Amino acid sequence: MKSILLVCLGNICRSPMAQGVVRRALDEAGLTHITTDSAGTSGWHVGGPPDPRAVKAALMRDIDIFAQRARQVEAGDFHQFDIIAAMDRDNYARLRELQPERSTARVHMFLEFAGELPVREVPDPYYGGEDGFDHALDLIELAARGLAAHIAARAR
Ligand code: 4NP
């Protein structure tokens, strides 16, 4: 286990926040050797910075995602990353379509790692208000903690 890719649609809201939160959870669990990245299933915002609302909401939790830049998921990601985690079902389905045969990545719904949580999708906050970003971060924090625990348990 050495790398995790977080994926949403635009790669400017949910997955950059998730990358920042997962990075911190891994660091806090002593799993600093595991690399993290984020990407979008769309190419709409390639090269662009995260949405300012995502930057602000993350910063309120002492997570700096300002320097991230959007990129689109590519075939090589399925060979490079061990875990690819989708923020919602549409992105999960798109990832399964894109996954090359005989590639090694395991594609998950990110909230699978949030344990008993009764929801499986991080809602897209793009068209809503700022509280949508906070709600997304609450869900992301639960899954990030679960993911770090999952990896720590497997590392033992
Ligand atoms: P994300 O949010 O998938 O969490 O980055 C979105 C960002 C942009 C768009 C949709 C969702 N868009 O339609 O441009």
CA-CA distance, 152 to 156, in Å (whole number)? 7
Measured from the Cβ of residue 46, the count of other Cβ atoms closer than 10 Å reads 15
Q: Is the pLDDT of residue 154 over 90?
A: no
Query: Domains, the chain, ranges and CATH?
Result: 3-155 (3.40.50.2300)
The number of the ligand 1 atom at minimal distance from the alpha carbon of 136 is 4
CB of 108 shorter than 6 A to ligand 1: no
Q: What pLDDT, on a 0 to 100 scale, did the predictor assign at position 155?
A: 79
For the chain, give the percent of residues with pLDDT over 70.
Answer: 100
CB of 24 shorter than 6 A to ligand 1: no
Tell me the CA–centroid distance for residue 155 and ligand 1, in Å. 34
Is 124 noted as a catalytic residue in this protein?
Answer: yes
Dig out the tokens for 109 from the structure: 């719904």
Q: What pLDDT, on a 0 to 100 scale, did the predictor assign at position 54?
A: 98
Q: Tell me the average pLDDT across 40-60.
A: 98
CB of 12 shorter than 6 A to ligand 1: yes
Nearest CA to ligand 1 atom 14: 10
Q: Tell me the average pLDDT across 137-143.
A: 98
CA-CA distance, 30 to 59, in Å (whole number)? 22
Tell me the CA–centroid distance for residue 13 and ligand 1, in Å. 6
Amino acid identity, position 94 = R
Per-residue burial over 96-121, b = 16 or more CB atoms within 10 Å of its CB, e = otherwise: eebbeeebebebbbbbbbbeeeeeeb
| The model's pTM | 0.97
Is 154 noted as a catalytic residue in this protein?
Answer: no
CB of 8 shorter than 6 A to ligand 1: yes
Is 94 noted as a catalytic residue in this protein?
Answer: no
